[in-house]
């Protein structure tokens, strides 16, 4: 591995948490998994030295939850980059999301906290964005993860020169001079002529003759590859030469290339770049030999911190035509004009898109493909007025709304295609709409069926499917049939459908504020115009929590509460650590949890703390004047107007207040103060809402919604199921489905 003993290397990582040290552990051959049962695993773990931990870590998360918890308890004092990598994988994937898994997760986050590894700071920011678990468990895990990383260092400790020299002595000796050799004929003018003009075959023929004359086998290989047609014997000879000498010909690249390199016209033309860190990029990124490549894929960075280095692209790559996996900011900053036609990678946001467009670095760029996990459809708007750009694409396996991307791309006159991972390509049809759908082989999870189901009827004018997969069967087949159905009237508008789409996962609450329906999730909100049911405004706060009203939005970043209106922001309240629990419907107060079980009610006008309450959870009425505090099976109703406290018997589940002020409890049915008991499907989340006068009550569940008489409890109407709902001022019930709002009047 290096010139340092394994145990000393483990101690060095424990002190520095340096990614270059971690990379050495990553480069180890995969360990043989530990084969014993849990008891044997625990015995081995207690006696294991750092060199013995690999097989144990590889099977750490195998077995039942109780067994995994025992393993985690046994290694609570381990500090090992391989353990950090295993913890990171399980946090990103969340393979267990039941309530019974919570003790195990507590142990996971305890190890994260004690690891001292700064990688988890980045993990806490981007991993939760990809979680697809139920909202209650998501918030629980997010809270634990946030607390676990609070005191972690933001970066690693730098290595001393002596440590760096000792660790990388072997690597330095192997690649003492990675640049083209100065010994003839490799550094001769013929090679330089090829590197300067890789598209011209004439210098390659000259070089082939010179190498043949010098007895260099690469001359014969070059000559064979330059032949317009080859006999089977020539192909066999060419493969034999490549097998015998290929590694030597690729030696300048060191270990920076994957094993699958495609050769064309005597030189490498396609491959995989494996820059592990900035040292690799500095050492190998300027090699003249890169100039013969036509297409390169960059391997994914191990951590977000290493993304700029892992995706390095510089002037030596100026002749490259297709770059996949690059860090786009390098192109923006470069003064080089690249020949790139396709760029896929981490773009960073709409500002970088506009900067790349205006930089002149990629004058021939025809396709820009986004791999960012934080990609938003709004980024596509920055691609307008880009004359050469014909294609945009979303390549992240957990993408945002396809409808939103298509609607924005359709407004850009130059964009002719929208690519959706490896699964779909939308082309412009004869009418200029992005309505010709080409379906390909899907790889990974691009939510193909779900995303297509959200497009409007008749959105596809021509459908092209491959002969293999049964694209036209099941739910997907029915969706494609609906999308391809000819409309008797005007063609459907992607723009109008996009204006109605919510694109709001993890929806928590809905309420009516004047002529606006306010929909709130953990870190996003939508304002819907009640007349048109069009989304009037969209709020996003990926790294914070928000609660909106029709006039402003409240943002909690973990240390402060800020009220934001158009062009203005005002800090209301600050704390060392807090989580936004809710905001009252009238918008005047907010409840935050500052420590586990400690809740504070904040006046958003003055920033004053109105009340401090302790319990497991709280529910607050619309005006913030009454608060129900739950502690186990004990419940107390606090009236902040007169300071009275009333104990409530029994064990209500998910207590809340109706807009008319009545308290709602959920057990086997919905129990409303005053004696009403309304049927409700057991074990399924329900939203209970009422009109302001209490004359109508609705119980909203995914399977169905039932509207009741608010006084007698008599059922009045059965409506479609929804995620949540709220009554408007005239008794209209607005139901929020997976992606749109519908209005229902009795």
pLDDT digits (tens, 9 = 90+) for 399-439: 889 999 999 999 998 999 999 998 899 999 998 999 999 99
Name the pLDDT band for 328 (thresholds 50, 70, 90): very high
Q: DSSP code of 315? A: G
pLDDT at 343: 97
pLDDT at 491: 65
pLDDT at 186: 43
Name the pLDDT band for 632 (thresholds 50, 70, 90): confident
CA distance 376 to 314: 27
pLDDT digits (tens, 9 = 90+) for 70-80: 999 999 999 99
Please give the mean pLDDT across all residues of the chain: 87
> Do 574 and 524 touch, CB atoms closer than 8 A?
no
DSSP state string for 138-200: HHHHHHHHHHHHTTS-SSPPPPPHHHHHHHTHHHHHHTS--SPPSSTTTTSHHHHHHHH-TT-
What separation in angstroms does the CA of 301 have from each of 140, 272, 304? 28, 13, 7
pLDDT at 175: 35
Name the pLDDT band for 470 (thresholds 50, 70, 90): low
Higher-confidence residue of 329 and 653: namely: 329
- Quote the tokens at residue 703: 């399977």
pLDDT at 650: 58
pLDDT at 342: 98
Q: Identify the weakest region by mean pLDDT among 127-136, 383-392, 540-549, 686-695.
A: 127-136
Higher-confidence residue of 162 and 86: namely: 86
pLDDT at 173: 40
Percent of the chain at pLDDT exceeding 70: 94
Helix (H) or strand (E) run with residue 562 in it: strand 560-565
pLDDT at 615 over 90: no
Helix (H) or strand (E) run with residue 296 in it: strand 295-298
Question: Mean pLDDT across the stretch 230-246?
Answer: 93
pLDDT at 453 over 50: yes
What separation in angstroms does the CA of 659 have from each of 16, 459, 669, 694, 698? 55, 40, 19, 8, 12
pLDDT digits (tens, 9 = 90+) for 339-369: 999 999 999 999 999 999 999 999 999 999 9
pLDDT at 128: 86
Higher-confidence residue of 180 and 287: namely: 287
Question: Mean pLDDT across the stretch 279-283?
Answer: 87
> In whole angstroms, how large is the CA radius of gyration of the chain?
31
Helix (H) or strand (E) run with residue 718 in it: strand 715-720
Q: Report the sign of the C-alpha dihedral through residues 318, 321, 327, 329, in that order.
A: positive
Note if the bond before 640 is cis, omega within 30 degrees. no
Question: Mean pLDDT across the stretch 193-199?
Answer: 92
Name the pLDDT band for 130 (thresholds 50, 70, 90): confident
pLDDT at 242: 93
What residues contact residue 675 under an 8 Å CB cut-off, 6+ apart?
Answer: none
Name the pLDDT band for 300 (thresholds 50, 70, 90): confident
Name the pLDDT band for 280 (thresholds 50, 70, 90): confident
pLDDT at 680 over 50: yes
591: left (phi over 0), alpha (psi -120 to 50) or beta: beta
pTM over 0.75: no
Question: Mean pLDDT across the stretch 329-333?
Answer: 94
pLDDT at 667: 72
CA distance 172 to 176: 5
> Do 398 and 130 touch, CB atoms closer than 8 A?
yes
Name the pLDDT band for 87 (thresholds 50, 70, 90): very high
pLDDT at 492: 67
pLDDT at 181: 41
pLDDT at 160: 85
Name the pLDDT band for 523 (thresholds 50, 70, 90): confident
Question: Mean pLDDT across the stretch 149-163?
Answer: 85
Name the pLDDT band for 654 (thresholds 50, 70, 90): low
CA distance 139 to 522: 8
pLDDT at 167: 66
Question: Mean pLDDT across the stretch 159-185?
Answer: 54
Strand arrangement of the beta sheet that strand 391-394 belongs to: 262-264, 267-273, 295-298, 322-327, 342-346, 367-370, 391-394, 417-420, 424-428, 434-439, 462-464
pLDDT at 441 over 80: no
pLDDT at 682: 76
> Do 356 and 333 touch, CB atoms closer than 8 A?
no
Q: Identify the weakest region by mean pLDDT among 47-51, 408-412, 564-568.
A: 564-568
Neighbours of 92 (CB within 10 A): 13
């Amino acid at each position: 591995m290096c010139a340092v003993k394994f145990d000393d290397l483990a101690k060095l990582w424990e002190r520095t948490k340096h990614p270059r040290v971690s990379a050495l552990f990553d480069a180890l051959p995969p360990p043989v998994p530990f084969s014993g049962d849990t008891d044997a695993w625990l015995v081995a773990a207690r006696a294991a030295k750092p060199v013995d931990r690999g097989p144990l870590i590889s099977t750490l998360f195998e077995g039942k939850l109780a067994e995994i918890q025992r393993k985690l308890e046994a290694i609570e004092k381990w500090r090992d980059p391989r353990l950090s990598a295993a913890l990171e994988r399980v946090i990103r994937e969340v393979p267990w999301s039941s309530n019974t898994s919570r003790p195990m997760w507590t142990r996971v986050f305890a190890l994260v906290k004690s690891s001292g590894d700064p990688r988890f700071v980045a993990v806490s920011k981007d991993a939760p964005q990809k979680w697809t678990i139920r909202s209650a468990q998501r918030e629980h895990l997010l809270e634990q993860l946030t607390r676990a990383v609070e005191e972690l260092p933001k970066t690693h400790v730098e290595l001393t020169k002596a440590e760096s020299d000792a660790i990388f002595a072997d690597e330095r000796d192997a690649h003492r001079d990675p640049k083209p050799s100065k010994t003839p004929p490799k550094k001769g003018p013929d090679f330089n002529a090829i590197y300067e003009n890789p598209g011209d075959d004439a210098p390659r023929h000259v070089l082939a003759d010179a190498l043949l004359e010098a007895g260099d086998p690469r001359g014969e290989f070059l000559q064979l590859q330059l032949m317009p047609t080859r006999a089977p014997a020539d192909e066999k000879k060419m493969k034999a030469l490549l097998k015998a000498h290929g590694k030597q010909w690729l030696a300048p690249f060191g270990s920076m290339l994957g094993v699958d390199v495609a050769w064309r016209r005597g030189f490498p033309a396609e491959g995989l770049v494996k820059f592990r860190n900035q040292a690799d990029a500095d050492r190998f990124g300027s090699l003249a030999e890169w100039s013969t490549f036509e297409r390169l894929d960059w391997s994914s960075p191990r951590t977000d911190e290493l993304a700029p280095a892992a995706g390095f692209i510089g002037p030596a790559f100026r002749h490259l035509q297709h770059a996949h996996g690059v860090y786009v900011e390098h192109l923006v900053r470069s003064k080089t004009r690249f020949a790139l036609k396709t760029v896929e990678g981490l773009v960073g946001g709409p500002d970088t898109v506009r900067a790349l467009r205006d930089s002149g670095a990629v004058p021939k760029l025809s396709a820009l493909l986004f791999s960012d996990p934080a990609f938003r459809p709004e980024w596509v708007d920055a691609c307008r007025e880009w004359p050469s750009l014909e294609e945009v694409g979303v390549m992240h396996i957990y993408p945002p709304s396809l409808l939103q991307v298509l609607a924005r791309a359709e407004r850009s006159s130059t964009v002719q295609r929208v690519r959706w991972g490896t699964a779909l390509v939308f082309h412009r049809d004869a009418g200029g709409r992005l309505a010709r759908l080409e379906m390909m082989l899907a790889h990974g999870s691009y939510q193909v069926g779900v995303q297509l189901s959200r497009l409007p009827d008749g959105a596809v004018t021509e459908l092209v499917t491959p002969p293999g997969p049964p694209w036209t069967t099941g739910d997907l087949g029915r969706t494609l049939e609906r999308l391809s159905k000819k409309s008797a009237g005007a063609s459907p508008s992607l723009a109008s459908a996009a204006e109605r789409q919510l694109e709001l996962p993890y929806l928590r609450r809905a309420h009516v504020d004047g002529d606006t329906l306010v929909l709130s999730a953990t870190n996003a909100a939508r304002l819907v115009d009640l007349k048109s049911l069009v989304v009037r405004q969209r709020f996003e706060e990926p790294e914070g929590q928000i609660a909106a009203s029709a006039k402003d939005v409240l943002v909690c970043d973990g240390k402060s509460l800020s009220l934001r209106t158009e062009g203005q922001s005002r800090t209301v309240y600050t704390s060392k650590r807090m989580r936004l629990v809710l905001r009252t419907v009238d918008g005047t107060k907010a409840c935050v949890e500052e420590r586990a079980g400690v809740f504070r009610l904040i006046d958003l006008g003055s920033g004053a703390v109105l009340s401090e309450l302790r319990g497991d959870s709280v529910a607050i009425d619309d005006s913030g004047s009454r608060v129900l505090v739950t502690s186990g099976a004990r419940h107390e109703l606090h009236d902040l107007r007169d300071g009275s406290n009333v104990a409530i018997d029994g064990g209500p589940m998910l207590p809340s207040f109706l807009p008319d002020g009545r308290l709602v409890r959920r057990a086997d049915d919905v129990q409303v103060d005053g004696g009403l008991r309304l049927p409700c499907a057991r074990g399924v989340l329900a939203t209970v809402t009422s009109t302001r006068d209490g004359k109508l009550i609705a119980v909203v569940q995914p399977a169905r919604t039932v509207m009741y008489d608010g006084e007698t409890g008599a059922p009045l109407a059965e409506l479609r199921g929804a995620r949540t709902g709220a009554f408007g001022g005239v008794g209209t019930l607005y139901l929020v489905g997976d992606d749109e709002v519908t209005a229902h009047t009795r």
